[in-house]
Amino acid sequence: MNIFTTLAVYFKYPFVQYAFIVGILIALCSSLLGVTLVLKRFSYIGDGLSHVAFGGMCIAMVLNLIKEKMIIILPVTIISAILLLKQGQSSKINGDAKIAMISVGSLALGYLLLNVTAFSANISADVCTTLFGSTSILTLTKGEVWLCVILSLLVVVIFVLMYNRIFAITFDETFAKSTGMNTELYNLGLATVIAVIIVLAMNLVGSLLISALVIFPAETSMQLFKSFKMVTISSAVISVVCAAIGLLIAILYGTPVGSTIVAADLVAFVAFYVISVIRSR
Amino acid sequence: MALIDVKELSFGYDNVEIIKKLSFKVDEGDYLCVIGENGVGKSTLIKVLLGLKKPYSGTIEFGDGLKPHETGYLAQQTLVQKDFPATVREIVLSGCQGFLGKGFFYRAEHKKLAEENMKRMNIYELADKSYRELSGGQQQRVLFARCLCATKKLIVLDEPSASLDHETTKEMYSIIRKLNHEGTAIVMISHDIETALAESKHVLMLNDHENFYGTVSEYKEWKGGNI
């Protein structure tokens, strides 16, 4: 059997189709917001939030709310996102340490909770799945897929409609505010959307690798493109292509999904970087 | 009626009142320099004028058709902006942000306004260049053009020459002079008192115990009696 017939066979399974739909949508959303986060020097927030989401996940596991885990993870992450963004604005130096504290703290507490309550027989496997998302994308239920599709489409629509305002607060928040824009409200909205994306992305790449989805496509595009519009479009394309390639390789060769996608992103970054170096000679 | 009429304004930060009962005016086509020691509250005053911060007491009245939030604000360049991947056109157009209202996208008239202001600042041929590839002086012109999209009446500048070299600073003062001659009122915070006195029409000096507001010659007289 050649690769294509093998893939055709795999794609008959609903769980493979689900994984593809969800994977590509999440990659798209995270790359759109990634441009703003990277440019506003907020990339670390993605990292911090993913650890918070891990903590939330552990609480859900201990409370035996695996099916309803979103009820816990989503609000916890959104609240943390708002707090972190506020922190990052008020005091740059102190904010940095506080973010590290929140993120490492929730990571440690989550793991501790799981161990103390001895909820599962195989803790290290559970933790590994949550951190690296090794198989969770292949075990999605129909409900989870729908939730993900609706939330992703919402993110994309909001992003397109708010594009000009997002540009304004990314480039110069003070100026935007002086022209009468309610920047606090938009930052709040931004924090909420970021939190939603991170919770969604946990299924795809696991909480440790989420920031790669947010940061890599944006940084890659900035190597080559000059305008905000092109950087945004290119990020979306790179992210979707890398997610698709990563998923295909993972399905064909049985590699872990999350790490394969991130590896594809890394290859794209190196390629763009090399091109930009050659071009600038 | 003045563009801005400030009466008995008191403000500060962290609940400490640093400036008490300050009164001054900015007329149409005026050129006001705000001077004073570091930390005396110059930047805080600008924030209050722009509506970024609430005063503790007193009033700010906008007149002559100037609405709050119709002020162009030019601050020192931030770290974020230095290597920002955006074209000159995108940045200048973002000055029209205040006109979006409840809409989502810029209309043809906004794009035309952006083009006019790029031409006015002599950066039209750079329109599709990336901001991060420009020289310091060109970047400054881009920010001026963006300001002009937001307002025709009043531009507020916060230490505009702080991070610029000598040549660029000179060029910037001549841009400001040109805009002022063409009818835009200027409010500028400056460290460089000599240039400030040479360029401006009115002076506002903030001080811990005594503020001064008047024309440049009145300031020189007052200063002469104070030394």
pLDDT per position as a tens digit, B75-89: 777 777 888 899 999
If one counts every other C-beta atom within 10 angstroms of the C-beta of residue A64, the result is: 10
Q: How confident is the model at residue A89 (pLDDT cuts 50, 70, 90)?
A: low
Domain count, chain B: 2
Least confident of A99-103, A218-222, B140-144, B184-188: A99-103
Nearest-CA distance from B136 to chain A in Å?
17
Considering only alpha carbons, which residue of chain B is nearest residue A227?
A: B86
Q: Do A174 and B98 touch (CB under 8 A)?
A: no
Nearest-CA distance from B227 to chain A in Å?
38
On whether both B66 and B87 belong to a single domain, the answer is no
Q: Do B52 and A225 touch (CB under 8 A)?
A: no
Least confident of A124-138, A222-236, B180-194: A124-138
**Farthest-apart Cα atoms in chain A, separation:** 64
* Closest Cβ–Cβ partner in A41, A164, A222 for B97: A164
H or E element in which residue B157 lies = strand B154-158
CATH of span A3-279: 1.10.3470.10
**End-to-end Cα spacing for chain B:** 35
pLDDT of residue B103: 84
Q: Which structure tokens are listed for B130? A: 């990336």
The arithmetic mean of pLDDT across residues A182-201, rounded, is 86
Chain B residues within 8 A of A225 when measuring between CB atoms: 85
Residue A238: name the closest of A246, A228, A227 by CA: A246
Q: Do A162 and B80 touch (CB under 8 A)?
A: no
What is the span of the domain harbouring residue B139? 72-150
Q: Does residue A90 carry a pLDDT above 60?
A: no
Per-residue pLDDT tens digits for B97-127: 888 878 889 999 999 999 999 998 889 999 9
- A-facing residues of B in 165-224 (CB < 8 A) are none
pLDDT of residue A121: 63
Strand order in the sheet with B31-36: B72-74, B154-158, B185-189, B31-36, B202-206, B212-215
pLDDT of residue A135: 61
Q: Do A178 and B51 touch (CB under 8 A)?
A: yes
- Higher-scoring residue by pLDDT: A113, B118: B118
Domain end marker among B103, B123, B150 = B150
Residue-range domain boundaries for chain A = 3-279
3-state secondary structure at position B76: coil
Q: Which structure tokens are listed for B101? A: 């209202």
- Higher-scoring residue by pLDDT: A139, A249: A249
- A-facing residues of B in 79-108 (CB < 8 A) are 79-81, 84-87, 90-91, 94-95, 97-98, 100, 104-106
Cβ(A265)–Cβ(A240) below 8 Å: no
Nearest-CA distance from B226 to chain A in Å?
37
pLDDT of residue A232: 95
Nearest-CA distance from A61 to chain B in Å?
40
pLDDT of residue B5: 87
Cβ(B20)–Cβ(B42) below 8 Å: no
Per-residue pLDDT tens digits for A51-88: 888 888 888 888 877 667 777 888 888 888 888 777 65
pLDDT of residue A242: 95
Residue A262: name the closest of A193, A208, A200 by CA: A208
Q: Do B106 and A164 touch (CB under 8 A)?
A: yes
* Closest Cβ–Cβ partner in B51, B81, B104 for A171: B81
Q: How confident is the model at residue A243 (pLDDT cuts 50, 70, 90)?
A: very high
Q: What is the pTM of this model?
A: 0.85
Average of per-residue pLDDT values in chain B = 85
| A132 phi and psi angles, rounded to 5 deg | -110, 0
Using the Cβ of B133 and the Cβ atoms of chain A, whether some distance falls under 8 Å is answered with yes
Q: Do A161 and B104 touch (CB under 8 A)?
A: yes
Q: How confident is the model at residue B224 (pLDDT cuts 50, 70, 90)?
A: confident
The arithmetic mean of pLDDT across residues B56-66, rounded, is 82
The arithmetic mean of pLDDT across residues B66-75, rounded, is 79
Least confident of A167-176, B36-45, B155-164: B155-164
Q: Does residue A269 carry a pLDDT above 90?
A: yes
Q: Is B11 part of a structural domain of the chain?
A: yes
Q: Do B73 and A162 touch (CB under 8 A)?
A: no
Indicate which CATH number applies to the domain containing B8: 3.40.50.300
pLDDT of residue A219: 94
Concatenated DSSP letters of B89-153: HHHHHGGGGGG-TT-SS--HHHHHHHHHHHHHTT-GGGTTSBGGGS-HHHHHHHHHHHHHHH-SS
pLDDT of residue A134: 58
The arithmetic mean of pLDDT across residues B13-40, rounded, is 85
Q: Is B17 part of a structural domain of the chain?
A: yes
pLDDT of residue A227: 93
Q: Do A175 and B79 touch (CB under 8 A)?
A: no
Q: Is B108 part of a structural domain of the chain?
A: yes
pLDDT of residue A31: 93
The arithmetic mean of pLDDT across residues B181-192, rounded, is 87
Domain end marker among B98, B124, B150 = B150
* Closest Cβ–Cβ partner in A41, A165, A226 for B97: A165
Share of chain A above pLDDT 90, in %: 28
Q: Is B169 part of a structural domain of the chain?
A: no
Share of chain B above pLDDT 70, in %: 97
Q: Partners of B155 in the beta sheet?
A: B72, B186
Q: Does residue A230 carry a pLDDT above 90?
A: yes
